[in-house]
Structure 1
């Protein structure tokens, strides 16, 4: 009986955290867009504008190219499902996640890669120049960003002696509060990867459709209606997933331990506060940064990789 109740409690925790992440994803994107507008001295869009956009797109009729294959139609749902799976692995409110042991941080990188591959293949499916251009650029970014992200995860894994994200959170949350050089290097590298993987400035600009600069937007130009709504929603969930991964790795304090349901409301308040600060920081970085040329992206992500490796070596050699 006790085992059954524990399983039911864990499933309820999993569903609750996933629902919170799915609901807060567009809201978090709206918060970032608001701060970005305020910092640029522009009139900010409403906080719920991403929700309005998604609802509006769901009420439109889809226009699909005549030569589009089933891959083109199914890619948005695959991408959205991958983001849901990623959020189901990340401990957002508590570490009591029954799905988390099924995949570690290495598999988490694979989930993001799977979504990227489907989106890139769908972009090339209709044969448009913009789709192929965006897919090639996206693969260039991912080719350089994924090793840097893995090095960040390896640094945290060496500290916790585990590649499970819940174990990493539980280990780091109970360490003495101090500034560890290895985690500092890893945090800077992770922020650089977050900007690149989520098509943010300085790597990409999500608010432009200029041929010479766009990456992610070039891949989704052929989508409309419900398909575009799923992609936009998935993009907000991806930003939410990366932010919550950063919170779990570098500021895990406030995440409730497994079985402590009374601490979940406190964890929710802490999560909202952390997301508010992270959204402001992301908007600030984008405001003070300039969009770099595509040919400079390898240097940018190479720097992120070197910082992540430096963090890992700092822990291995100095234990700090």
Structure 2
């Protein structure tokens, strides 16, 4: 892709994730409300909530250190950098060569670790409890993310995510293979856990005995809370975008074309809309599992990812 058009693609990816993240959250809430027989607050409600929080005075608990103050910005910044690296709209950008699988997962993990440190830094019982639970979940989710995408990297011969997506576009049979099906199942469970969705966590409640993500952010208020919620919404949009790019890659631009970039943008919005609606609909019928059963679910997803790697290794031939 030409130099200028490549930077446009990167800027477009970051913009659509940042601007669309609250809309995706509002859309999912609206779908869920309709299925439950409620009117719902509307798709724009997350933007209204953010505006209300930004008008409030920031409050910092006494005794907190730099970890607590830096975590909201770190959460949003890591999501924005990952959005620039991942091939959401185009596989040919000036930063494509840096979009290695390990780098992307490390960025996602950095935001998680920053929020866990903030929970510990708050010095409250709920903050420490939520941080402990979050790191327990992360210790199983991050390896699953790595292995599920690594299963797709074996036939591509590289761990560069844009190259993996480009290879899947030209050879779609990879996605219908046993390794591809196992990998999408493992990655889907990992995305649910990483974003704190049902059945792992319930983002709409503050029940002390079961909350994970919400326990770490109880001490935030005003603009800081708005930034934390915005970062969480960006991570949801980013991970659903990664899922769609890896397993429904058609429409992503692979060459220097304005038309292809516009088509990719439209299809990306459509994919996220469909995925968000499916996830919201599933959450209506799913129940949150007991906290002590969460490691069993995540261990199962890790096993699926491991089987995907094994199947991919044997199906594509040992080196």
TM-score (norm 1): 0.95
CA 1:17–1:259 in structure 2 vs 1: closer, same or farther (change >3 Å)?
Answer: same
Answering whether residue 222 of structure 2 is matched by residue 232 of structure 1, we say no
- 1:221 aligned residue: 218
> Partners of 2:146 and 2:132 in 1: how far apart?
22
- 1:160 aligned residue: 156
Answering whether residue 272 of structure 2 is matched by residue 247 of structure 1, we say no
Q: 5 Å matches for 1:75-114?
A: 75-114=71-110
Q: Which moved more, 1:111-120 or 1:37-46?
A: 37-46
- 2:118 aligned residue: 122
> Partners of 1:59 and 1:99 in 2: how far apart?
36
- 2:283 aligned residue: 286
In the alignment, is the contact (CA less than 8 A) between 1:172 and 1:249 conserved in 2? yes
- 1:193 aligned residue: 190
In the TM superposition, what is the alpha-carbon distance from 1:11 to its structure 2 partner?
A: 1.5
Q: Which moved more, 1:192-201 or 1:262-271?
A: 262-271
In the TM superposition, what is the alpha-carbon distance from 1:59 to its structure 2 partner?
A: 1.1
Aligned residues: 316
> Partners of 1:99 and 1:134 in 2: how far apart?
35
Q: Which runs of 5+ in 1 are unaligned?
A: none
> Partners of 1:272 and 1:80 in 2: how far apart?
20
Q: Which residue of 245, 267, 273 maps to 2:264?
A: 267
Cα offsets for 1:191-216 (capped at 9, x unmatched): 10111000000000000101111000
Q: Which moved more, 1:31-40 or 1:194-203?
A: 31-40
> Matched residue of 2:209: which SS?
coil
In the TM superposition, what is the alpha-carbon distance from 1:101 to its structure 2 partner?
A: 1.6
TM-score (norm 2): 0.95
> Matched residue of 1:32: which SS?
helix
> Partners of 1:234 and 1:97 in 2: how far apart?
24
- 2:12 aligned residue: 16
Q: Which residue of 115, 128, 131 maps to 1:132?
A: 128
In the TM superposition, what is the alpha-carbon distance from 1:71 to its structure 2 partner?
A: 2.0
> Partners of 1:46 and 1:267 in 2: how far apart?
27
In the alignment, is the contact (CA less than 8 A) between 2:189 and 2:301 conserved in 1? yes
> Partners of 1:111 and 1:176 in 2: how far apart?
28
Cα offsets for 1:145-180 (capped at 9, x unmatched): 111111101111112111111101110011145722
Alignment RMSD = 1.5
In the alignment, is the contact (CA less than 8 A) between 1:14 and 1:96 conserved in 2? no
In the alignment, is the contact (CA less than 8 A) between 2:58 and 2:223 conserved in 1? yes
> Matched residue of 1:221: which SS?
coil
- 2:25 aligned residue: 29
Q: Which runs of 5+ in 2 are unaligned?
A: none
> Matched residue of 2:218: which SS?
coil
